Amino acid sequence: MNGHIVLLCTGFHKRTYPTLDSVWKNPQLTVEATQWMYDRGSRMHGVEGPSTDRPSDNVFAQHRLCRKLGISHWEWLVNLEELLAKASFSSSACP
């Protein structure tokens, strides 16, 4: 299905918050992974960490690819574990 949203539930927030690890050890999303999801119809994705890019990388390659592809992503998502058993759910987000 084209236009779908991918939420990546890694347990990162639950394992690391509120320590500094929650800022500096986020599981990044690579440019290749973003392109792979896009090629399969995803037009939005969300992650638990503070960024989709490596925190120490100021190039922001994944952010740049999203801009090039005309898609966006959400960061700092929490409680994604609660959605795992749901068949469907509704959500709202503001930029």
pTM: 0.87
The pLDDT tens digits of the residues spanning 5-55 come to 999 999 999 999 999 999 898 888 999 999 999 999 999 999 999 999 988
Q: Which domains does the chain have, with CATH numbers?
A: 4-83 (3.50.30.50)
Asked if residue 27 has a cis previous peptide bond (ω within 30° of 0), the answer is no
